[in-house]
Amino acid sequence: MKLLKNFAAVLGLLAIVWVTFLLVSYILASTLFPAIEQASQNILASIMRVIVGLATFMIWILIWYTLTKIWLYKVLLKE
């Protein structure tokens, strides 16, 4: 039964990471693609969109790392 519980916990973690990946992909697409398409019109807006996109991606990586660490040590190794 413990194996099934651990499998469900890992599957839940993967589902959370996948949903947040889709959310971050949407945010990146809505910030970076307009910056690429309109690069010659407003340079400052393009730079700000790229910065927002990269910051969003880095924050997602940090949240993913923290969530994985908490999930693995607190949930899976709990006895």
Token pair of 72, please?
Answer: 């693995």
pTM for the complete prediction? 0.61
- Output DSSP code: residue 74: I
Residue 17 predicted with pLDDT over 60: yes
The domain segmentation of the chain, as residue ranges, is: 2-76
Q: Which of 54, 49, 22 is nearest to 38 (CA)?
A: 49
Token pair of 57, please?
Answer: 């991606």
Token pair of 24, please?
Answer: 């971050």
Q: What is the tens place of the pLDDT at every residue in 24-65?
A: 888 888 877 776 776 667 778 778 877 888 888 899 889 888
Token pair of 14, please?
Answer: 């993967």
Residue 79 predicted with pLDDT over 60: no
